[in-house]
Amino acid sequence: MKSHLGRRPFSAMELHTLYHGYIYGDQRLPREQPKHWHFWLPLIAYYSGAYSDEIGQLQLCDIVEHQQILCFHFHTHGKIKARIVPIHQALFDAGLNEYITTVKQRGHSRLLFDLPSKSGRYSEKVRIWFSGEGERAGYLQKCDIPNIDQLGMKTAVSSLRLNFEQQIRIYAIQAGNKDAFNYLLGFNEYELTEFSDVTTLDQICQQIRVINQHIDWHRFNQRHTI
């Protein structure tokens, strides 16, 4: 696994806690100011391995179909290569198609239209909401997950990419296709710009473990009426 500045992936129990937290539950917290991106960004990060800036900049036109498979087209991060990542079925089960329809009806072109940028970047806003800042508690703290564990290893929203990387490595090895692993993570070890066998990419991505099969954007939307 590639180094992420002392960061580690979330444990299975931590993932369970994150995706059964209040964002995905039935109770609204006092003074909570819910946004659609609060619901979707952690899910897309886990199931795609994308960075928050990449997800924040996704346009509706970046949801593309290749070989009859719907994919995210990530192409906005300077450190890793552009790539398409098949959309996991769990995102559709959570209501992604219906959410996209709502975004279109509201006249927006960016998928996470209510995620603001700061100096042209989305990661700073995501970092503060997810990890907190100063005395302001983030989603991690509200889920009783520490930012730093007893070994000094950090968890952050980018840890979800490490969880994606862990699983994709296994499934790509099982498929005998290391190129697929390097392509899906945007690593330079895959020297080409495209990956011709999208079906193989999809077969690998669909094996990512579903963390909460009851997640439902409709329920979130009704709970918050946003």
Tokens read off for 74? 């990530």
139-160 tens-digit pLDDT: 999 999 988 877 778 999 999 9
Model confidence at 21: pLDDT above 50: yes
> What is the pLDDT, as a whole number, of residue 209?
98
List the CATH number of the domain containing 174: 1.10.443
Q: Where are the alpha helices (DSSP H) in 10-151?
A: 12-18, 36-48, 52-56, 89-93, 96-105, 123-131, 139-142
pLDDT band at 4 (very low <50, low <70, confident <90, very high): low
Long-range contact pairs involving 66-74 (C-beta distance under 8 Å, separation at least 24): 66/198, 67/198, 67/199, 69/198, 69/199, 69/201, 69/202, 71/198, 71/201, 72/44, 72/48, 74/48, 74/50, 74/186
> What is the pLDDT, as a whole number, of residue 3?
45
Residue 128 sits in which domain range? 12-220
Residue 195 lies in a domain: yes
Residue 63 lies in a domain: yes
| Mean pLDDT to the nearest integer, 205-221 | 95
Long-range contact pairs involving 177-183 (C-beta distance under 8 Å, separation at least 24): 177/204, 180/204, 183/83
What is the Cα gyration radius of the chain? 17
Contact residues for 226 (Cβ-Cβ < 8 A; gap 6+): 34, 35, 36
Rounded CA gap, 23 and 30, in Å? 13
| Mean pLDDT to the nearest integer, 149-177 | 93
pLDDT band at 180 (very low <50, low <70, confident <90, very high): very high
> What is the pLDDT, as a whole number, of residue 5?
58
Rounded CA gap, 3 and 6, in Å? 7
Residue 7 lies in a domain: no
98-123 tens-digit pLDDT: 999 999 999 999 999 999 998 779 99
Residue 75 lies in a domain: yes
Residue 3 lies in a domain: no
| Mean pLDDT to the nearest integer, 23-34 | 81
What is the number of domains present in the chain?
Answer: 1
